[in-house]
């Protein structure tokens, strides 16, 4: 425990993050303070929202500072507990793990996991933040009705794969947008009714029209950019667009998102475009987790994972996720 290779932020990225934006430092293991846990990291999560934190621009959450330990969701085993809530040997999940083999976590932010209920890393994917986001963005913000068409971008990713399966379970008609034929085919295997490879589709507006012949009622927008514009042109009257993420803009994060202004289309369709942040639904997490866990245990939810090995792989896993090179929920296994 004397050696604890730790990733810190070396500089704010300009455009798409690069490995050179991070620094691996050999630091001593931290010491748990009052109310804290010393945790041996088992799994780290890298997620699109983390790109927004690598910027000095104002955001809805505090950003990383130069020289700080990189932070993200993680799962680990408690080594030392300075809290009556946990004991050594407990497996916990928290959102404030450092990118390091040993980390400290505030006990009141940690959640004990039951390894017998589901593999512990699912708390970072289908039963965690991505699963909860899919649940609330689709059901509480998009509010589809039975038989309506739900178009989902980044459909094979951590959030998209769960949103599509929830749509199937609830009797909606999910249509996938993904970045390869293999991803589209896998989406169909988990219940998507149709799919579009946006890298080879050509005219995206026409491709969506073919995949959604009855139009789009709800668009779960995990990417922004040209896919947003094409979906809007296929939106039905009183359609809903839920803006969940903007990963397509990861290489130009601090620049304006400039595209066509389809205000006339919004007026005519009386469309609703609404941003989504998971924290707004914190009071209902327990209910959503019960549903997601039940569906998972019943075999109704399938969770595909893309696993990188070792702490050294963390920055590259993060970057490949931003580029859409992952297939499933991107994780780092220590």
DSSP for residue 246? -
Q: Is the pLDDT of residue 304 over 70?
A: yes
Structure confidence at residue 59 as a pLDDT band (50, 70, 90): low
- pLDDT at residue 138 above 70? yes
User: How much is the mean pLDDT over the chain?
Assistant: 92
Q: Tell me: pLDDT of 54 over 90.
A: no
At 252, is the pLDDT very low, low, confident or very high (cuts 50, 70, 90)?
Answer: low
Contact 8, 68 (CB under 8 A): yes
At 15 the pLDDT is 85
Q: Report the share of the chain in percent with pLDDT over 90.
A: 83
Residue whose tokens read 């505090």: 62
Q: What is the model's pLDDT at position 49?
A: 84
Task: For residue 6, count CB atoms less than 10 angstroms from its CB and return exposed for 0-12, middle for 13-18, buried for 19 or more.
Answer: buried
Q: C-alpha dihedral over 40, 287, 276, 218, to 10 degrees?
A: 130
Domain annotation for the chain: domains and CATH numbers: 4-124+303-333 (3.90.180.10), 129-279 (3.40.50.720)
User: Residue ranges of the alpha helices (H) in 68-159?
Assistant: 129-136
Per the CB < 8 A criterion, the answer to whether 176 and 155 are in contact is yes
Determine how many CB atoms are found less than 10 A away from the CB of residue 17. 23
pLDDT of 1 over the 60 cut: no
Q: What pLDDT score was predicted for residue 213?
A: 97
Q: Which of 54-58, 163-167, 187-191, 206-210 has the lowest mean pLDDT?
A: 54-58
Write the CA distances from 40 to 36, 58, 74, 81, 269, integer angstroms.
Answer: 13, 32, 10, 12, 52
Report the alpha-carbon distance of residue 191 to residue 183 in Å, rounded. Answer: 13
**107 compared with 266, residue with greater pLDDT:** 107
């Amino acid at each position: 425990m004397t050696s604890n290779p730790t990733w810190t932020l070396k500089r704010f990225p300009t455009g798409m993050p690069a490995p050179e934006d991070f620094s691996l430092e050999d630091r001593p293991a931290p010491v748990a303070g009052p109310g804290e846990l010393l945790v041996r990291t088992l799994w780290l999560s890298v997620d699109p929202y983390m790109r927004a934190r690598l910027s000095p621009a104002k955001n809805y959450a505090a950003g990383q500072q130069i020289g700080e330990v990189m932070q993200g969701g993680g799962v680990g085993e408690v080594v030392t507990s300075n809290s009556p809530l946990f004991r050594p040997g407990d497996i916990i999940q928290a959102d404030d793990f450092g990118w390091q083999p040993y980390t400290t976590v505030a006990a009141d932010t940690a959640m004990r996991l039951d390894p017998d209920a589901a593999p512990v890393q699912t708390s970072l994917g289908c039963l965690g933040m991505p699963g909860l986001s899919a649940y609330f963005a689709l059901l509480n913000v998009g509010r589809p009705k039975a038989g309506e068409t739900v178009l989902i971008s980044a459909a094979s990713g951590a959030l998209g794969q769960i949103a599509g399966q929830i749509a199937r379970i609830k009797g909606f008609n999910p249509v996938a947008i993904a970045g390869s034929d293999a991803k589209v085919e896998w989406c169909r295997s988990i219940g998507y009714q149709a799919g579009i490879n946006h890298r080879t589709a050509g005219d995206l507006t026409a491709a969506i029209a073919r995949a959604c012949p009855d139009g789009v009622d709800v668009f779960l927008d995990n990417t922004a950019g040209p896919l947003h514009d094409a979906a809007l042109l296929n939106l039905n009257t009183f359609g809903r667009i839920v803006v969940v993420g903007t990963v397509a803009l990861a290489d130009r994060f601090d620049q304006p998102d400039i595209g066509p202004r389809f205000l006339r289309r919004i007026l005519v369709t009386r469309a609703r475009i609404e941003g989504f942040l998971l924290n707004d639904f914190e009071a209902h997490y327990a209910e959503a987790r019960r549903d997601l866990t039940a569906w998972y245990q019943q075999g109704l939810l399938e969770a595909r994972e893309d696993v990188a090995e070792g702490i050294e792989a963390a920055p590259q896993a993060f970057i490949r996720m931003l580029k859409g090179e992952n297939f499933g929920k991107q994780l780092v296994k220590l």
